[in-house]
Amino acid sequence: MEFTASTIAGFLKGVLEGNPDVVVNTIARIEEGHEGALSFLANPKYEQYIYTTGSSVVLVNKDFIPSAPVKPTLIRVDDAYKAFAALLTLVDQSKPRKKGIHPSAVIEPTVKVGSDVYVGPYSCVGENCEIGDGCVIYPHVIIGDNTRIGKNTTLYANVTIYHNCIIGESCTIHSGTVIGSDGFGFAPQSESEFMKIPQLGNVVIEDRVEIGANVAVDRATIGSTIIRKGVKLDNLIQIGHNVEVGENTVMAGQCGIAGSTKIGKNCMLAGQVGLVGHLKIADGTRIGGKSAVHGDIRKENTTVTGAPAFEHRDFLRSSVIFRRLPDLYAQVQAMGKDIDALKRR
């Protein structure tokens, strides 16, 4: 990667202030900037660093007004964070793509493999699978029988896709993730024994889904566990059997979604959120970190927090009272003593 400031400004349709010929060949955080680096300033909390950074070029918002001289060349854009993300995407896409099938990979004769596909060492692809054009399958990936992988999907090392699952186009699944393992279905037979319920369904992951490392998405008992298009899942998330996650919903790390819960589209779940089974979560719901949701959320665009979770504003008011409980308790004790004294009179 090596670009001039004028080339970057042209790509981003930004306004350049400074030396148009300065060259950058790497990316750095603004507080760690050095010569030849490109940085960005989007959060006002970091403004102090733009006056001391060694970066050669800095992306800033169009309305940024410096309060002191600035040494780097500036490129003004509508949204510095989005512009920086666009540049990172450009750099990532410019990397050479792996192609070809490694001799140690095991691919059954009944598999349909598209064009420009890479299959890394020791990966295994089961019978009657379909691998779409442009897929990248890194080493030690296991793909079970009758599974379909859409075009331009990337499976990183040690991903496991069980049988009969469907993965859409332009998906990314990171290392250690398991798609289609059995749902947690056991029927009690006595006080000490359980009978396993066969999990006969599958997992369907639609287009443009990204799933982090060490995520488990269980197959349905009957039917499908469904991850709709555009969903983004962080690392270490558990999705139970027959769950449906709506379009463009995002979840942070360590969330756990119990079986048969239906989450709407455009929802946001912070870290360590837990949802019990068979819930319905409305579109646009936001759930604060470490919250435990025990009941349906039917109103769209609701924000909830707490364990058990309830409306965020009420939670904040309750938190104020909770912090005052020791004082309130002392006051109640004092009032009790006063009442006893009055009774004795």
Give the integer Cα–Cα distance in Å for 84 and 195.
Answer: 53
- Supply the residues annotated as catalytic: 241
Which residue has better confidence, 317 or 64?
64
Nearest CA to 201 out of 187, 181, 215 is that of 181
Residue 94 has pLDDT above 80, yes or no: no
Give the integer Cα–Cα distance in Å for 136 and 213.
Answer: 16
Nearest CA to 271 out of 316, 233, 302, 303 is that of 233
Give the integer Cα–Cα distance in Å for 234 and 172.
Answer: 12
CATH of 100-315, one of 2.160.10.10, 3.40.50.2300, 3.40.30.10, 3.30.2350.10: 2.160.10.10
The maximal CA–CA distance of the chain, rounded, in angstroms, is 97
First vs last C-alpha separation in the chain: 89
Instruction: Tell me the residue type at 28.
Output: A
pLDDT recorded at residue 312? 73
What is the pLDDT confidence band of residue 313, given thresholds at 50, 70 and 90?
confident
User: pLDDT above 90 covers what percent of the chain?
Assistant: 83
pLDDT digits (tens, 9 = 90+) for 165-203: 999 999 999 999 999 999 999 999 888 899 999 999 999
**Residues 301-321: what's their mean pLDDT?**
82
Least confident interval from 1-5, 208-212, 248-252: 1-5
CB within 8 Å of 120: residues ≥ 6 apart: 98, 102, 105, 137, 138, 139, 140, 141, 157
**Residues 46-57: what's their mean pLDDT?**
97
DSSP E strands in 116-161: the ranges are 118-119, 124-125, 130-131, 136-137, 142-143, 148-149, 154-155, 160-161
User: 3-93 and 100-315 share one CATH topology?
Assistant: no
3-state secondary structure of 156: coil
pLDDT recorded at residue 325? 82
Residue 190: count other Cβ atoms within 10 Å of its Cβ: 7
Domain ranges of the chain: 3-93, 100-315
Q: Look up the pTM and report it.
A: 0.85
**Residues 213-220: what's their mean pLDDT?**
98
Residue 322 has pLDDT above 80, yes or no: no
CATH topology for 3-93?
A: 3.40.1390
Contact 23, 10 (CB under 8 A): no
